[in-house]
Amino acid sequence: MKVVLREDLEHVGLTGEVVEVAAGYARNYLVPKGIAVAATAANLKMVAHQESRNEARNSKERAEMELLAQQITSTHLELSHRAGDSDTIYGAVTAAEIAFALEEAGIQVDHRRIQLEKPIKMLGAYTIPVRLHAEVTAHVTVNVVRDDI
């Protein structure tokens, strides 16, 4: 049975794609849960209309995120932490702390968008990726320095 997916489904397809699935799978799972609709002419037209609206919104959002990415890339953060003799800092620099520092610099970014593999525990300069959009990733430079108390 041919269906139009309304959301991404792993190993089946992406939103808006027309895919062939088993009739029972479509009738008993995909359609009742709202994941897919039958591939009729009316549903195909509806999906095409939604795709054009989503594409326009996506391109606008992407343009906004590219401007934000330019701001982030030109920003250099300096975070001071107490550190031991071996340049190991007490505590760690987390994505939330980087997001707070960006906010103080006038840039609003959710800490979940900052792709920090693990917290920073050493002094030094780091380039941290910030995923703003599916197609836009910026890099912020974070310099962790010794706090002179």
pLDDT tens string for the chain (149 positions)? 999 998 888 888 888 889 999 999 999 999 999 999 999 999 888 888 888 888 888 899 999 999 999 999 999 999 999 999 999 999 999 999 999 999 999 999 999 999 999 999 999 999 999 999 888 999 999 999 998 76
Judge if 116 and 74 occupy the same domain.
yes
Task: Flag whether 102 is in a domain.
Answer: yes
Residues 6+ apart with CB under 8 A from 64: none
Residues 6+ apart with CB under 8 A from 28: none
DSSP letter, residue 112: G
Predicted pLDDT of residue 49: 86
Predicted pLDDT of residue 9: 86
Predicted pLDDT of residue 16: 83
Q: Which residue segment(s) compose the domain that 39 sits in?
A: 2-59
Predicted pLDDT of residue 103: 96
> What is the distance between the alpha carbons of residues 131 and 72, in angstroms, rounded to a whole number?
11
Predicted pLDDT of residue 32: 95
Q: How do beta strands 124-133 and 136-146 pair? A: antiparallel
Predicted pLDDT of residue 26: 93
Judge if 73 and 140 occupy the same domain.
yes
Predicted pLDDT of residue 86: 93
Judge if 73 and 48 occupy the same domain.
no
Judge whether 111 and 98 are in contact, CB under 8 Å: yes
Task: Flag whether 64 is in a domain.
Answer: no
Judge if 92 and 30 occupy the same domain.
no
Tally of structural domains, the chain: 2
Q: In this structure, what CATH number is given to the domain that contains residue 18?
A: 3.40.5.10
Burial of 9 from C-beta contacts in 10 A (0-12 / 13-18 / 19+): middle
